[in-house]
Homo-oligomer: A and B are copies of this chain.
């Protein structure tokens, strides 16, 4: 099956000129599917088309999302591109390694994507927690400020080099197709909701980082659809199990006249 080019997801992009420059390099390397999460100045922005030098189709077809979770919902392999390594338990790979894995997944019919952060803020750890790996471009420590369109260009170039390279052996996952991100986020939110009820997240200010760590560690398992269903059942069973214990205890209290 022919590899469908990766979706380019820009999280909170700031300058419309940069979005246009991204569209231009996407067109240069045969990418076309652009998604924008909370563009700072709204969308559409005329200056984006002005700076795309005629590469209008990624802009014309760009989808805008409020939540990153929704922007990646239909994808099954997403890499986050960052300039600096992160404190996270995700694999860190080069654009070349990422291109090879994205190609293999795409040839297997899976929707794949590349996530880029905004010009100033970059990506937050919570955004990265939704991804399956971190792509780090080997830039010089003495000057790490890489232009957004340049970061897209390097990854798009590697994608194209990989597509025109000799056919690779399929990515060595002999497991079934991984679930899409919508299913995974559904699982995460069910788990986090139950843990809220159980008073797991304390102190409250630690909840975001605790949620990130849970998502990152579980995301690495690359659950299949069937496994997502199984684990949703597991969470339900454990919570219900808790309910049983509750009732038992309530009964005991009642019998002891404490009710």
Using a CB–CB cutoff of 8 Å, the interface residues on chain A facing chain B are: 21, 24-25, 27-30, 53-55, 85, 88-94, 96-97, 136-140, 142-147, 149-150, 153-154, 157, 160-161, 164, 167, 170-176, 191, 194-195, 197-200, 210, 213-214, 217-218, 220-224, 227, 230-231, 233-235, 237-247, 249-250, 253-254, 258-259
A195 contacts which chain B residues (CB < 8 A)?
234, 237-238, 241
Question: Which listed residue, B137, B145, B160, B231, touches A217 by the CB 8 Å rule?
Answer: B231
Question: Which listed residue, B230, B245, B258, touches A198 by the CB 8 Å rule?
Answer: B245
Query: In the complex the two chains form, what is the Cα distance from A30 to B144 in whole Å?
Result: 10
Query: In the complex the two chains form, what is the Cα distance from A97 to B170 in whole Å?
Result: 13
Query: In the complex the two chains form, what is the Cα distance from A175 to B249 in whole Å?
Result: 42
> Of all chain B residues, which has the CB nearest A248?
B246
A101 to chain B, nearest CB (A): 13
List 6 A-B pairs, Cβ < 8 Å: A28-B139, A30-B140, A53-B145, A91-B175, A93-B171, A213-B230
Query: In the complex the two chains form, what is the Cα distance from A123 to B198 in whole Å?
Result: 40
Known: A21-B147, A29-B140. 18 other contacts (CB 8 A): A25-B146, A28-B146, A30-B140, A89-B227, A91-B175, A92-B171, A92-B174, A139-B160, A150-B153, A197-B244, A197-B245, A200-B234, A217-B224, A235-B238, A239-B242, A241-B245, A245-B246, A253-B254
Question: Which listed residue, B91, B240, B246, touches A173 by the CB 8 Å rule?
Answer: B91
Contact B147 A25 (CB under 8 A): yes
Q: List 9 tightest A-B contacts by C-beta distance, closest first.
A: A259-B259, A198-B241, A27-B143, A238-B238, A221-B221, A200-B237, A254-B259, A198-B237, A30-B140
Q: Which of A96, A242, A247, A250 has most B Cβ within 10 Å?
A: A242
A259 contacts which chain B residues (CB < 8 A)?
250, 253-254, 258-259
Q: Which of A53, A137, A200 has most B Cβ within 10 Å?
A: A200
Query: In the complex the two chains form, what is the Cα distance from A143 to B30 in whole Å?
Result: 8
A51 to chain B, nearest CB (A): 10
A174 to chain B, nearest CB (A): 5
A27 to chain B, nearest CB (A): 4
A179 to chain B, nearest CB (A): 11
> Of all chain B residues, which has the CB nearest A247?
B249
> Of all chain B residues, which has the CB nearest A202?
B242
Q: Which of A145, A171, A213 has most B Cβ within 10 Å?
A: A171
